[in-house]
Structure 1
Amino acid sequence: MTGINVDYINPFLMAATGIIKDICQIEMKIGKPYVKETAFADDSVIIMIGITGEMRGQVMIVLSYTKALEIASKMMMGMPVEKLDEMSISAISELGNMIMGNAATIFSTKGILIDITPPTVCRGNLTIAQSFAQNICVPLSGGDITIELDVAVKA
């Protein structure tokens, strides 16, 4: 993998797997990272969070629409979630906040100070143009849920 240091990706992976285990009771396995264009399918839900400070870029947490509903339901104490409405979008946005806040804490223990932007939730057939950093995709899977963590950052 050229262009990105694994030390810039591992804190995001540690945060994502830890938070998903704590919040959703799902043990996530980390798949093989690869370089990916930031283009997403019709049924995608993307939680996009920007990074500023000693690192710049963005992280996108990508899941299918049905899995976003399942996770929103788990976050809302098992309340059934039929569609992405204001409440369920707020729940999955909070998942993004928790993951990224945890990652910021991990980075701070390594002497790297970052800030995160509020999450933006996008849906559907989408391509995001990025010119500042290569996008590294790391699939996370556990149970019947697969989440894609797209990390495009540079120091």
Structure 2
Amino acid sequence: MATINVDHINPFLLASTKILKEMCSIDAKIGKPFVKNPIFLADTMVILIGFTGEMKGQVLIAFEHPVACDIASKMMMMPVEEMNDLSRSAISELGNMIMGNTATVFSTKGIAIDITPPTVGKGTMSFTSSFAQNICIPLEYEGGNKIEINIAIKGDR
């Protein structure tokens, strides 16, 4: 399996922290990247967005249920205690904004990518692919709340 060029991880992190700040007023702290087998437990919500073009791969943005509710609350500016269609739509749009911004950052570096529509899942899930190893970068905010950005890239140049 191929490895990921570190320069290709930074645009995802830049976009993620920027969108979390702008849309949710979250100052996320970037944690230490690690290789992770992309398996998620029952209480986890995952946004899956693929990308194609000069680089191909997928991003899995994972939140435990309380964190997903907190982020949806901040986006919708109202309390969210359980995820419903509206709050799932907000979370899905967050993923779309992060990846759209990521594509813009890559374009400034001369790398063109297109993103797929987001898919949101909840529950026990595992993902396998022929991409590079899954690199997980935790983003932490407000007392230990954590968002995991999982990145796997094929055809890294």
Instruction: Give the TM-score band, short-chain normalised.
Output: over 0.9
Q: Secondary structure at the match of 2:14?
A: helix
Q: Which residue of 2 aligns with 1:76?
A: 76
Identity %, equivalent residues: 59
Q: Which residue of 2 aligns with 1:128?
A: 127
Q: Give the Cα–Cα distance (whole angstroms) in 2 for the partners of residues 131 and 96 of structure 1.
A: 22
- 1:18 partner letter: K
Q: Secondary structure at the match of 2:46?
A: strand
Q: Which residue of 2 aligns with 1:85?
A: 84
| Contact 2:73 2:79 (8 Å CA) reproduced | yes
TM-score (norm. length: structure 2): 0.94
Q: Give the Cα–Cα distance (whole angstroms) in 1 for the partners of residues 83 and 58 of structure 2.
A: 23
Aligned residues: 153
Q: Give the Cα–Cα distance (whole angstroms) in 2 for the partners of residues 138 and 80 of structure 1.
A: 27
Gaps of 5+ in 1: none
Match status 1:148 vs 2:126 = no
- 1:92 partner letter: I
Q: Give the Cα–Cα distance (whole angstroms) in 2 for the partners of residues 134 and 11 of structure 1.
A: 18
Q: Which residue of 2 aligns with 1:36?
A: 36
- 2:132 partner letter: A
Q: Which residue of 2 aligns with 1:47?
A: 47
Tell me how far 1:8 sits from its aligned partner.
Answer: 1.1
TM-score (norm. length: structure 1): 0.95
| Contact 2:130 2:154 (8 Å CA) reproduced | no
Q: Give the Cα–Cα distance (whole angstroms) in 1 for the partners of residues 114 and 66 of structure 2.
A: 30
Q: Which residue of 1 aligns with 2:118?
A: 119
Q: Give the Cα–Cα distance (whole angstroms) in 1 for the partners of residues 79 and 6 of structure 2.
A: 38
Q: How big is the alpha-carbon RMSD for the aligned residues of Structure 1 and Structure 2?
A: 1.1
Match status 1:94 vs 2:54 = no
Q: Give the Cα–Cα distance (whole angstroms) in 2 for the partners of residues 134 and 112 of structure 1.
A: 21
CA displacement, residues 123-150 of structure 1 (integer Å, 9 cap, x when unaligned): 1111111222210000110113210000
Tell me how far 1:74 sits from its aligned partner.
Answer: 0.8
Runs ≥4 residues deviating over 3 A: none
Match status 1:18 vs 2:43 = no
Q: Secondary structure at the match of 2:131?
A: coil
Q: Give the Cα–Cα distance (whole angstroms) in 1 for the partners of residues 20 and 67 of structure 2.
A: 13
